[in-house]
Amino acid sequence: MRELIDLARKVEGMPRNTSTHAAGVVITNEPVVSYVPLAKNEDTVVTQYTMTALEELGLLKMDFLGLRTLTVIDDTVKAVRRQKPDFDIDKINTDDKKVFAMLCTGQTEGVFQFESAGMRNVLVGLSPQSIEDMIAVISLYRPGPMESIPEYIANRHNPKKIKYDTPLLKDILDVTYGCIVYQEQVMQICRELAGYSYGRADLVRRAMAKKKHNVMMQEREIFIYGKTDENGNVEVDGAVRRGVDEKTAVAIFDKMAAFASYAFNKAHAAAYAYVAYQTAWLKCYYPKEFLAATLTSFLDNTDKITEYTAECKRLSIDVVPPDVNESFAGFTVDDSKIRFGLLAIKNLGTGFIEKIIEERETNGAFSSFYGFCRRMQGREFNRRAAESLIKSGALDGLGSNRREMMLALPLILEDLENTRRRNVDGQIGFFDLLSGDSDADEEETEEFAIEPADDYSTSEKLRYEKEVTGLYLSGHPMAEFAETAKSINSDTIGSLLDGPEGGDNKRVRVLCQISSIKKKITAKNNSMAYITVEDITGSIEIIAFSSILAAYNPILVEGNIVLIHGRLSLKEDEEPKIIAELIEPCPPKPEKQPEKKKQRKGLFLRFDSANSPQIAECEKLLAIFDGSFPLYYYFSDKNEYKMFDLRNGVSVNEVLLRELRKILGAGNVIYNE
């Protein structure tokens, strides 16, 4: 046992596997192997030294980040150029008030770096008016500088609140309203307050960022008191020698040390902010093209597809179902709509989709389900792919309903296979050879008859759409419960995701459908569940702790419609969630109220009889307001109406009504618009 313990102590702390820096690339003049030993990590050639060792050797290591957003921008620009061939994303106005107005509202779904709930809250509080503000937000929204966000926003809106530890900081921190935001500011403070050289200032920044405490303690003394060489010559002035009192110098250095561990350099933040502004500008001016490109970039992520299709709905952009004659691999702009991409349908490979597009562009649109199957046979076509196309609605325009196509599919495949075998065996008829019919001609004369059948119900169609795309395409199961939700004053999920009034811990209730349930055991051996629910406005996660799970487990079934009562949980950098407190079955639908009898349009005046002395008094008044609005007299004694033709109508206004009510009483003057 002792030997095992000794061995464990020797092994402890030693590396157990090699790792690869995700974006690090070493650049050398000669082949890298001339400088450092190499190894293979799976199929990747890597150095055997760590990134810090490489830097200490003086080698150049660069981080190259692959950003999905750059592809989104490029795809959007290509789509825009179909309308404006000379469009150049690098020439857009970087001071566009409309773009910043959008950012100020927090409507930043799809905008690079600004999508999270926490970022949206910062944007709304800050109200950015320039790219400089965006650079600052990107730099501040990190673990260290984040504590300065309230101060930064307050100072931004009220510059009188800005305070500097020493006047020497004003020129350095005025651009960030008195807050240290960038690594470059740390270097500048070292230079201006303590007389550091550029090189030494960068060493301080690196020591702080890498948390090298020994170096930091040494530099702390130098920053405050300066440094002299062996002969007493001053190498570094130090803050005290430059007129900063000791207490202030200590406070400034400690503030920099706490901040610099997580700070961005401004160049990095500026590059990110510029890309973020480009995405915001494209969303503002070309939302359809931008969101189509964004959806395409997330074809393999159902949650993101759901999120961005909800954003399309908020912007009144229709996302229409896939169509085998219209859709391409990705999402595309189709007139004023966005057309669903075929790659977002399960069981469809890239090769098969390319062949669909090639076939329709070469031989024309598909006009029947049988013709589609026959033309695509042998071109990566299979039963699962055909079923997915049927279930998604991509074949709805081919003359048959979904149930008919699903029932006919096995028979069509069998027929096509028999035809293929006959052709392979050389059993093509003599007249077939002479006819020379092309595939396109055969489609016009095909004899395969699809048996008629009742289509799937709406709920079945929606279930199949969800199965193969992760989304409801032609409607939503919750649509039929809209009146129920309205009658019980249910909160919509979309309104909760947008940051409702009342904020964190607000009590809410949501009528919704259960999409998925994930149960887990806590550290205290209790059960809990993460339940994803949705309505027609979006989806949200429900957290159900053990007591709730035990009490309502029978109705917690995927597909069930439930009414959830709970508290809204809003946390920094997390999507809103609901902590469940009560879960009820779906309330009954409200009974339809009988329609009220439509009231006749007109001005009705009630008199006791046709001889009432008030008639003459009213007619003097009516003569002043001559017009074409229908006028009726009602005589109570005979329970009858007298209708005047339009030539003897009246022009109704508040003055006339007020005077008539004075003569007859309010209950005897009825005005039906």
For residue range 484-514, what is the model confidence (pLDDT) as tens digits? 988 888 998 888 876 666 678 888 999 999 9
Kindly state the percentage of the chain with pLDDT values over 90. 44
* Predicted local confidence at residue 288, as pLDDT: 95
CB atoms within 10 A of CB 202: 16
**Could you tell me which of 612, 609, 603, 665 has the C-alpha nearest to residue 635?**
609
Distances (CA, A) of 201 to 146, 195, 217, 481: 24, 9, 15, 64
Q: In which band, very low, low, confident or very high, does the pLDDT at 440 lie, cut at 50, 70 and 90?
A: very low
3-class state of residue 441 by DSSP: helix
* Predicted local confidence at residue 114, as pLDDT: 94
* Predicted local confidence at residue 10, as pLDDT: 67
More confident residue, 249 or 148: 249
For residue range 576-605, what is the model confidence (pLDDT) as tens digits? 899 999 999 988 877 665 555 566 788 888
- Mean pLDDT is lowest, of 60-74, 301-315, 318-332, 395-409, for 301-315
Q: In which band, very low, low, confident or very high, does the pLDDT at 8 lie, cut at 50, 70 and 90?
A: low
**Could you tell me which of 533, 500, 504 has the C-alpha nearest to residue 518?**
533
* Predicted local confidence at residue 341, as pLDDT: 93
Q: In which band, very low, low, confident or very high, does the pLDDT at 166 lie, cut at 50, 70 and 90?
A: very high
Which two three-digit tokens encode residue 219? Answer: 């530099």
* Predicted local confidence at residue 606, as pLDDT: 87
Mean pLDDT of 613-622: 84
Beta bridge partners of 264: 182
Which two three-digit tokens encode residue 660? Answer: 């008539």
* Predicted local confidence at residue 376, as pLDDT: 93
Judge whether residue 432 has pLDDT over 60. Answer: no
* Predicted local confidence at residue 261, as pLDDT: 63
Q: What is the DSSP string of 132-193?
A: HHHHHHHHHSSTTGGGGHHHHHHHHH-GGG---SSGGGHHHHGGGTT---BHHHHHHHHHHH
Kindly state the percentage of the chain with pLDDT values over 70. 90
Distances (CA, A) of 114 to 105, 275, 540: 12, 11, 20
Domain definitions of the chain by residue range? 2-63, 69-271, 353-458, 477-585, 602-672
Cα 128 to Cα 153: distance, rounded to the nearest angstrom: 10
Mean pLDDT of 547-556: 91
**Could you tell me which of 121, 253, 255 has the C-alpha nearest to residue 181?**
255
Mean pLDDT of 230-252: 90
Which two three-digit tokens encode residue 92? Answer: 């857009």
* Predicted local confidence at residue 431, as pLDDT: 47
**Could you tell me which of 289, 337, 341, 352 has the C-alpha nearest to residue 471?**
341
CB atoms within 10 A of CB 524: 7
Residue with tokens 């500048």: 188
For residue range 22-75, what is the model confidence (pLDDT) as tens digits? 778 999 999 999 999 998 887 788 898 888 788 888 899 888 878 899 999 999
Judge whether residue 464 has pLDDT over 80. Answer: yes
Cα 124 to Cα 100: distance, rounded to the nearest angstrom: 11
* Predicted local confidence at residue 322, as pLDDT: 95
Distances (CA, A) of 213 to 216, 224, 225, 296: 5, 16, 18, 47
* Predicted local confidence at residue 146, as pLDDT: 80
Distances (CA, A) of 513 to 357, 477, 540: 36, 8, 11
DSSP state of 668: G
Judge whether residue 670 has pLDDT over 70. Answer: yes
Please, where are the H alpha helices in 436-589? 439-444, 458-469, 482-487, 493-497, 546-552
* Predicted local confidence at residue 309, as pLDDT: 87
CB atoms within 10 A of CB 616: 8
Tell the CATH superfamily of the 477-585 domain.
Nucleic acid-binding proteins (2.40.50.140)
For residue range 478-487, what is the model confidence (pLDDT) as tens digits? 888 988 988 8
* Predicted local confidence at residue 479, as pLDDT: 87
Distances (CA, A) of 386 to 21, 329, 392, 462: 43, 16, 10, 17
Judge whether residue 439 has pLDDT over 50. Answer: no
Would you call 391 exposed, middle or buried from its count of C-beta atoms within 10 A (0-12, 13-18, 19+)? buried
Cα 234 to Cα 326: distance, rounded to the nearest angstrom: 76
The rounded mean pLDDT for the chain is: 86
**Could you tell me which of 533, 507, 672 has the C-alpha nearest to residue 605?**
672
Q: How far is CA 620 from the centre of its chain?
A: 66
Do 349 and 421 form a contact (C-beta atoms < 8 A)?
Answer: no
Q: How far is CA 105 from the centre of its chain?
A: 15
The 3-class secondary structure across 536-580, one letter per residue, is CCEEEEEEECHHHHHHHHHHCCCCCEEEEEEEEECCCCCCCEEEE
Mean pLDDT of 158-177: 91
- Mean pLDDT is lowest, of 15-19, 287-291, 317-321, 447-451, for 15-19
Beta bridge partners of 227: 236
Residue with tokens 């931004």: 156
Q: What is the phi-psi region of residue 155: left when phi exceeds 0, alpha when psi lies from -120 to 50, beta otherwise?
A: alpha
Strands (E), 570-644: 577-585, 602-607, 626-627, 631-635, 640-644
For residue range 184-226, what is the model confidence (pLDDT) as tens digits? 888 999 999 999 999 888 888 877 777 777 777 888 889 999 9
Do 360 and 106 form a contact (C-beta atoms < 8 A)?
Answer: no
* Predicted local confidence at residue 425, as pLDDT: 60
Q: In which band, very low, low, confident or very high, does the pLDDT at 345 lie, cut at 50, 70 and 90?
A: very high
Cα 19 to Cα 468: distance, rounded to the nearest angstrom: 37
More confident residue, 593 or 567: 567
